[in-house]
Amino acid sequence: MMISLDAVHVGMPVFDSDGEQLGRVKAIRRPDPKAAAFEERVCSSPPSLFFLGIGSMVGIEPKVPPEMALRLFRQGYVKVAPPHFWAEDYYAAGDAIDKVEGGAVHLSLNRRELEAQE
């Protein structure tokens, strides 16, 4: 069962499955109903290094590999800003949210599992 992203708000603390606070919700993107059609079109056309790399060069969100970006668009996601300014933001797909409780987002993944997705 996927938790609705409607229950998530910018500024909420985010905890991993080990109970460690990863940071706070910086942005929320709802699932994109057109993502599946877009993915099908991309998969049926020859890959283009220009297309695959242009998003990260111009700062388009999410800043993850193309396969993960497609998953994030399909599922929706939260962007988590870590408490340290030198740390990179995390992206958690909607299906990685275990629960929203007590004004906080709790993920079903720990920090290492979340980082391994990207």
Q: What DSSP assignment string belongs to 66-79?
A: HHHHHHHHHH-EEE
Q: What's the token pair of residue 70? A: 């497609």
Q: Quick one: pLDDT at residue 73?
A: 84
The DSSP code for 112 is: H
Please check the confidence at residue 57 and state whether its pLDDT lies above 50. Answer: no
Residue 56 pLDDT class (50, 70, 90 cuts): very low
d(CA 107, CA 89): 15
d(CA 89, CA 80): 6
Number of Cβ within 10 Å of residue 8's Cβ equals 20
Mind listing the domains of the chain with CATH numbers? 5-117 (2.30.30.240)
Please check the confidence at residue 48 and state whether its pLDDT lies above 90. Answer: no
Q: What is the pLDDT of residues 73-113, one digit of tens each?
A: 888 999 999 988 778 899 999 999 999 999 999 999 999 99
Residue 49 pLDDT class (50, 70, 90 cuts): very low
Q: Strand 77-81 to strand 13-15: parallel, antiparallel, or no bridges (unpaired)?
A: unpaired
pTM: 0.77
80 strand-pairing partners: 25, 90
